[in-house]
Chain A
Amino acid sequence: MGKRKVGALEKVDADLTNLQHKIRRDPSSYQDDFRNQYAQYDTFKSLFLENPASNPEVGVISFRDLVDFIAHVADCYPDLTARFPQDLVDILTLHHDKLEYELRDKLVGSLVLLRNKDVINSSILLNALFPILVSTNSKSLRALLFKKILSDLRSCNAKATDHRLNRTIQTVLYNLVTSDRASPKSVWAVKLTRELWKRQIWTDAKAVDIMKEASLTDNEKVVVGGVQFFLGGDQEREDAIEESDDDEDGIDVGRLKHQAGVNKKSKKQDRQLKKAAAMVRKKEKKKGKPHPLNFSALHLLHDPQSFAESLFHKHLQQQRKNKFALEHKLLVLNLVTRLTGLHRLTIEQLYSYLLKYLAPRQPSVTSFLAALAQATHPLVPPETLAPLVHKIATEFVSEASASEVAASGLNAIREVCSRQPLALEATLLQDLVQYRKSRDKSVVMAARALLSLYRDVGPEKLARKDRGRDAALAMRDGGGVERRFGEDDMAGVDGGIEGIELLAEWREAERKRRRREKGLPSDADSDEEGEKIGLSEEEEEEGWKNWDVESTDSDSSGGWIDVASDGGENFEISDSEDEKRAKKKARTTKEFEAEAKFGVTNGSALEAHDGGNSGPSDTQQTPVALSEREATLATNPAKRLSSLATTRILTPADLAKLHELRIQQSLQSHLPSSHKRHHAAPKRNGNNVGGLANRADDPVTAESIALPAHLGTKATKEEKIAAAKADRQEKHLGKEAKKRQRKREQGKSSTNKEKERQKNMIMMLGKARKKGKRPLGDVRKALKSGGKGGRKGR
């Protein structure tokens, strides 16, 4: 008898993985085997459908294994398995609540696998999974489905945005939210949208529309989800972007290359190196790309007026039907006021609604105060605000009330008045300013801040002696007149560009510098040159080409970039967005941050910071720059400069420069040394009343209202300790563990001793057993030596 040919599957019983492997290599030869298994799957499916709660696990094979197997090889036999995806979908849809959980997860996983193999398309998968996500009671299944749906949407949008799919899913979500406004199921629409927004997969108005509808539903949970999206969604997105950037910085290609040269060569190391190289290449590519233009959700809203109005009426005014918890009410209020301030909306009843919550006994009153400040903008009539300000003044600010209360009240009044200075009449203002003579430090600071605000925006309301030199001089010159109601800057919301004249000045200065370098007279009449003030044509093109490079380089090319910080002088750090990042990096004490935010200029804590910030090169450059700038100011009337925007197209590099200049200006305006220049320069630019400190776009938080209250108080010992420990790691490590960690961080291997200690117990069992059976003589020897030469810690 000849050698028997061994059949494909006789060697190993029930080895589906083996068969799967073989099928993948040669589908046509194993078609009959697959047919057998498919028939088996079919039979098992019938068995299973008789009692869906069970998992027919007979002998060695279970239904789960068969499903897994077929899903893995389905792409090899598309005609045989045509009905397979639909089978899975049907089983899941009909029985998902009864299924045994392992089988259920396997079914979901198999469907996703089929999608990844392009056996089914995304819309089939999502249409199958989403209804289950919404309807199921099982928490783990929901988590799984959510993850799968999200990852599928991500992978579909990875290479190019799949607009069609996005649109269908968005429509499904929108319908889910709007179809039944009372159901809590819409929470999933909110969650999904928020997650996709965070990952920048959905950045369009339709996604915002879903959230808008969610905020207007009747279910508290859904409403809170929608509102929180508007309040924090964009911040979350930015954080996610920053985080992902950080992740990629962690690779040190040089070191990896070195290691690959030194260490033993292995496939793993090869792979790691390749991966790192790919990552670096990707990063380089990313650098060349322009920054994605992301609009914030608040700006993408269609018709914010009606949205804010209906939010206010539905969730705040008519609270009979569904009473929200206070914190949720506060969230809604926060959104409504944020919208009001940002889009300058008019909601009359909002202010009278706020009136009743402005009492020191009201829980979380600082949030209400912050909401009031947020809702204030230059177009709110002063007579609407006056009663509110009056109430704050009477209820909060008095010698009898606690210092924190008074300070918070004063700060709230300041925040309101910085947005609408007309809200406070002269007598009340003069009264409040008197509090700077109070005994309590926090109240003093709050009152001083109010005073300095009005020195800027309305000095004639102050008593003569309180005006200060600058304001008095300005008044004498005919400036410092308070703006009337409804009067607006050119550079307000209506078309003007904030700080455009700064850019024009800078361009002029650059031009002069160039001419001087070439040896031409710097003042060759600029009138003649007319249009081509500033940079030459080539420069212009450069500005369009790789503008990102220019914007990063401009720090070194510009003459007078860094803030002058003459020794011992203080300046106020503005609270603008641009500053926040810098602040984050520079470790400052809590007090310093607080003062900087609050805008008090006499803090001695600032001095320490000053020294660190100024480099020697800066101090050399600045005088020249300043004189130059003054010269340009003298020669060029501001009016002609501001025509810059109308005569030429600004390049992205120009815009970046403009941004930089604006920050600089806001910093310089608070330098005491620049007092004289201050009078000549146009004092108020755009809507930054009192510097860029308070921009209408930025939210006012309860913390910022309560901030001055904490200024006077000394930190307790615990707080100090906590602050000192803040950036250290919490987990305590022993000496050995620390050493080991350090070694690992350096990329060094463990010692032999350590390896021996960490050896698997099973491996050591034989040795241990032998140890007990040693001959007596050996034992005696070992005892005599007293553990000499043995390992430490034995």
Chain B
Amino acid sequence: MGSSSKKKKEKKSDFQKPKLRVGKSKPAPSNYTDTSFRAKSITVTQQRALTTSARPSSSAAQLSHNLSLLSHRSDAARRDALAHILSAIALAPASAPAALIVPKVAPLLLDSSSSVRGATLAVLRALTTEDVALRAPKLLLYARAGATHLSGEIKDFALDVLSFLLQSAGEETVSCPGGWVKTVGCLVTVLRWSGKSGATNGMGQGVGVVGRDAKLLVKQLGALTSVLEVGLGVTSDKMDKDGIPKRRVFWPPTFPVYHAYQHAMPSWSRPYARLNLFGRPPDSDDARYEDTGERRRVFREKYERDVLAGVGECVRLGGEVGRTAKRLGKVVEEGMADRGK
């Protein structure tokens, strides 16, 4: 009778006295609960979700739903979400604020699928110029990251983004922190011109450049040209002759309101950004160079010789590359010559 003897033993064990020993603490009773632990915090594994509606119904909800889909792993889903966002902007720009959209959309500029990248740029194009100008520093970061990307397609695409930025918010792009030195430096690196003036290694990068490489090279040269155009104040439709941007509302001052613009609401983005109230302490590369004179000085110090050496080499190649390089050389010449006036 196995079970009965077992039961007997169990019953007996209830009445057995625990053995006590000198110097040992009492054995804990069977129902002892250890309460000696302490917790700094209690984690509740599941909490009630704050968003009540499961199905996006309102346009705002739909937008947030689509924004969340932007990090979907499938290309098609991301592209569709972008299409939705684009249509939302087109239908009711007020209901689709750029402040929400741009931070989410911007990382997709470096997406591995070309259709997604294209759709992203389309979304950015749909935004108003002010919105883009306000967020130009951040978008510029992505453009730069793309320009040095390992993938050739993304490299190519990033130049499109850069030219879009320069078209819609050129002044902001070159004057934001790091927007001048780093952008030019990045393009110079990409063109393999850095340190060119110091040591001519004889291996021109143009040797045997044909096909896709040549196209990319032309595009890169073009991008550098347009950056320098804007930065050095060559296209002076937005500038006056002193290099002061012409964006102020009451410019030029007329008789009754000479100083009105100083009292009016600033119309450009982040008017107090130069005070750098919230950012990190800038180093020399991250500094802002807000007017053309400063930018010219920095360009002369850092890149002019490299660029000129590179231009010379590319001009010798001739063809499409040579033509673009020649234009670049002209822009540099004009921009730097402006300084004497």
Assess whether B213 is interfacial by the CB under 8 Å rule.
Answer: yes
Is the beta-carbon distance between B150 and A61 smaller than 8 angstroms?
A: yes
**Contacts of B265-317 to chain A: CB distance below 8 A:** 280, 286
From 362 to 376 in chain A, residues with beta carbon under 8 angstroms from any chain B beta carbon are 363-367, 369
Q: Known contacts A39-B186, A46-B178; is A405 also within 8 Å of B149 by CB? A: no
Judged by a CB distance under 8 angstroms, whether B225 is at the interface is no
- Are the CB atoms of A35 and B152 closer together than 8 Å? no
- Asked if A706 and B22 sit within 8 Å, CB to CB, the answer is yes
A243: interface (CB < 8 Å):
no
Q: Is A463 an interface residue (CB 8 A)?
A: no
The listed residue (A14, A58, A702) touching B145 by CB distance below 8 A is A58
Please indicate the chain B residues that have their CB under 8 angstroms from the CB of A46 in the complex.
141, 178, 286
Q: Which A residues are CB-close (under 8 A) to B185? A: 39
- Determine if A43 and B144 form an interchain contact, defined as CB atoms under 8 angstroms apart: yes
Contact A706 B144 (CB under 8 A): no
Q: Which residues of A contact B153 (CB under 8 A)?
A: 13
- A363 neighbours in B (Cβ, 8 Å): 23, 25
Q: Which of B21, B107, B142 contacts A709 (CB 8 A)?
A: B21
The answer to whether B150 and A5 have CB atoms under 8 Å apart is no
Closest residue to A46 on the B side, CB-wise?
B141
Most buried by A among B21, B109, B150: B150
Say whether, besides A35-B194, A39-B189, A10 and B152 are in contact (CB < 8 Å).
yes
Q: How far is the CA of A14 from the CA of B153 in the complex (A)?
A: 11
Docked CA distance A61–B152 (Å): 14
B107 near A364 (CB under 8 angstroms)? no
> B338 near A: Cβ within 8 Å?
no
Q: Is B208 an interface residue (CB 8 A)?
A: yes
How far, in whole Å, are A5 and B151 apart by their CA atoms in the complex? 17
> Is B202 positioned at the interface, with any CB of A under 8 Å from its CB?
no
Cβ–Cβ contact A706 & B112, under 8 A: no
Q: A565–B290 Cα gap in the complex (Å)?
A: 100
Inter-subunit contact A365/B23 (CB<8 Å)? yes
CB <8 Å contact, A1 and B210: yes
Interface positions, chain A 1-53, Cβ under 8 Å from B, are 1, 4-5, 7, 9-10, 13-16, 19, 32, 35-37, 39-40, 42-44, 46-47, 49-50
Are A39 and B23 within 8 A (Cβ)?
no
Q: Does B62 contact A (CB under 8 A)?
A: no
CA distance A522 to B301 in the complex (A): 100
**CB contact under 8 A between A40 and B148, given known A32-B192, A363-B25:** yes
| B154: interface (CB < 8 Å) | yes
| Residues 401 to 416 of chain A near chain B (Cβ within 8 Å) | 402, 404-405, 408
Determine the distance from Cα of A37 to Cα of B190 in the docked complex, in whole angstroms: 10
Whether a CB of chain A sits under 8 angstroms from the CB of B111 is yes
Kindly state the separation between the CA atoms of A61 and B25 in the bound complex, as whole angstroms. 60
Given the complex of chains A and B, what is the CA–CA distance between A36 and B22 in angstroms? 75
Bound Cα distance from A92 to B111, whole angstroms: 28
Q: Is A603 an interface residue (CB 8 A)?
A: no
B223 on the A face (CB < 8 A): no
Is there a chain B Cβ closer than 8 Å to A360's Cβ?
Answer: yes
- B211 lies within 8 A of chain A by Cβ: yes
Q: Whole-angstrom distance between the alpha carbons of A404 and B178 in the complex?
A: 82
> What is the CA–CA distance of A10 and B149 in the complex, to the nearest angstrom?
11
Is A382 interfacial (CB-CB < 8 Å)? no
Q: Assess the B23–A364 pair: CB atoms within 8 A.
A: yes
The answer on a CB contact under 8 Å between A14 and B141 is no
Contact of B110 with A by CB under 8 A: yes
- Write out the residue numbers on chain B whose beta carbons fall within 8 Å of the beta carbon of A40: 145, 148-149
B residues 140-185 near A (Cβ < 8 Å) are 141-142, 144-145, 148-154, 178, 182, 185
- Bound-state Cα–Cα, A32 to B141, Å: 20
Most buried by B among A5, A35, A39, A366: A39
Q: Which residues of A contact B190 (CB under 8 A)?
A: 36, 39
Structural contact, A61 and B149, CB atoms closer than 8 A: yes
Which residues of the other chain, A, contact B23 by a CB distance below 8 angstroms? 363-367, 369, 408, 702, 705-706
Say whether A60 faces chain B, with CB atoms less than 8 Å apart: yes
A43 — which chain B residues lie within 8 A by C-beta? 141, 144-145, 148, 182, 186
Does residue B138 face the partner (Cβ distance < 8 Å to A)? yes
Q: Mark B8-31, 1 if CB is under 8 A from A, else 0.
A: 000000000000011111000000
Q: Does A712 contact B (CB under 8 A)?
A: no
The 8 A CB mask of A331-342 against B (1 = contact, 0 = none) is 000000000000
Instruction: Tell me if B150 and A16 are in contact (CB < 8 A).
Output: yes
Asked, given contacts A36-B189, A44-B145, whether A13 binds B24 with beta carbons under 8 Å apart, the answer is no
Task: Scan residues 225-261 of chain B and give those whose CB is less than 8 A from a CB of chain A.
Answer: none
Main secondary structure of the interface of A (DSSP, over half): helix
Query: Once the chains bind, are B148 and A36 in contact (CB under 8 Å)?
Result: yes
B22 touches A14 (CB 8 A): no
Bound: A37/B138 CA distance, A: 19
Contact residues of A between 646 and 682, Cβ < 8 Å to B: none
Q: Is A387 an interface residue, CB under 8 A from the partner?
A: no
Q: In the complex, what distance in Å separates the CA atom of A46 from the CA atom of B23? A: 64
Nearest chain A CB to B236 CB, angstrom units:
30
A404 engages B21 (CB within 8 Å): yes
**With known contacts A4-B210, A36-B189, A706-B21, A59–B110 Cβ distance under 8 A:** yes
Residues of A within 8 A of B213 (CB): 7
Could you say which residues of chain B place their CB within 8 Å of the CB of A44?
Answer: 145
Determine the chain B residues whose CB is within 8 A of the CB of A37 once the complex forms.
Answer: 148, 150
Q: CB distance B150 to A15 under 8 Å?
A: yes
Residue of B nearest to A326 (CB): B25
Residue A109 is within 8 A (CB to CB) of chain B in the complex: no
**Is A56 in contact with chain B by the CB < 8 A criterion?**
yes
Q: State A705–B21 Cα separation when bound (angstroms).
A: 13
Contacts of A364 in B (CB 8 A): 23-25
Tell me, in angstroms, the Cα distance from A115 to B209 when the chains sit together: 41
Beta-carbon contact of A59 and B111 below 8 Å: yes
Please pick, from B24, B208, B286, the residue contacting A5 in the complex, using a CB distance under 8 A: B208
Which chain B residue shows the least CB distance to A716?
B19
A39 / chain B contacts, CB cutoff of 8 Å: 144, 148, 185-186, 189-190
- Could you say which residues of chain A place their CB within 8 Å of the CB of B21? 404, 706, 709
Query: Across the interface, do B189 and A35 meet the contact criterion of CB distance under 8 Å?
Result: yes
Query: Whole-angstrom distance between the alpha carbons of A556 and B86 in the complex?
Result: 96
A32 CB, nearest partner CB in chain B, Å: 5
Tell me the smallest distance from the CB of B221 to a CB of chain A, in Å.
Answer: 16
Kindly list chain B residues whose C-beta atoms are within 8 Å of the C-beta of A13.
112, 150-153
Q: Which residues of B contact A59 (CB under 8 A)?
A: 107, 110-112, 154
Interchain nearest-CB distance for B72 vs A (Å):
14
CA A365 to CA B109, docked complex, whole Å: 74
> Smallest distance from the beta carbon of A760 to chain B beta carbons, Å?
27
The docked-state distance in angstroms from the alpha carbon of A13 to that of B156 is 13
Which of B22, B23, B138, B182 has its CB near the most chain A CB atoms (within 10 A)? B22
Given that A39-B186, A49-B280 are known contacts, is A709 also in contact with B22, CB under 8 Å in the complex?
A: yes
Q: How far is the CA of A292 from the CA of B141 in the complex (A)?
A: 59
> How far, in whole Å, are A426 and B320 apart by their CA atoms in the complex?
118
| A4–B150 touching, CB < 8 Å | no
Chain A, residue nearest B109 (CB): A58
Give me 25 A-to-B residue pairs in the complex whose CB atoms sit less than 8 angstroms apart, sorted by A's number.
A4-B210, A4-B211, A7-B152, A9-B150, A13-B150, A13-B153, A36-B148, A39-B185, A39-B190, A43-B182, A46-B286, A47-B141, A58-B107, A58-B108, A58-B109, A58-B110, A59-B107, A59-B154, A61-B150, A366-B22, A367-B23, A402-B22, A404-B22, A408-B23, A702-B23
The 5 closest A-B CB pairs, nearest first, are A366-B23, A13-B151, A58-B110, A40-B148, A43-B145
Residues on B facing A (Cβ under 8 Å): 21-25, 107-112, 138, 141-142, 144-145, 148-154, 178, 182, 185-186, 189-190, 192, 194, 208, 210-211, 213, 280, 286
Binding site for B on A (CB under 8 A): 1, 4-5, 7, 9-10, 13-16, 19, 32, 35-37, 39-40, 42-44, 46-47, 49-50, 56, 58-61, 360, 363-367, 369, 402, 404-405, 408, 702, 705-706, 709
Instruction: With A32-B192, A39-B144, A43-B148 given, name 14 new contacts (CB 8 A).
Output: A1-B210, A32-B189, A35-B194, A37-B148, A39-B185, A44-B145, A46-B286, A58-B111, A60-B112, A364-B25, A365-B23, A369-B23, A702-B23, A706-B22
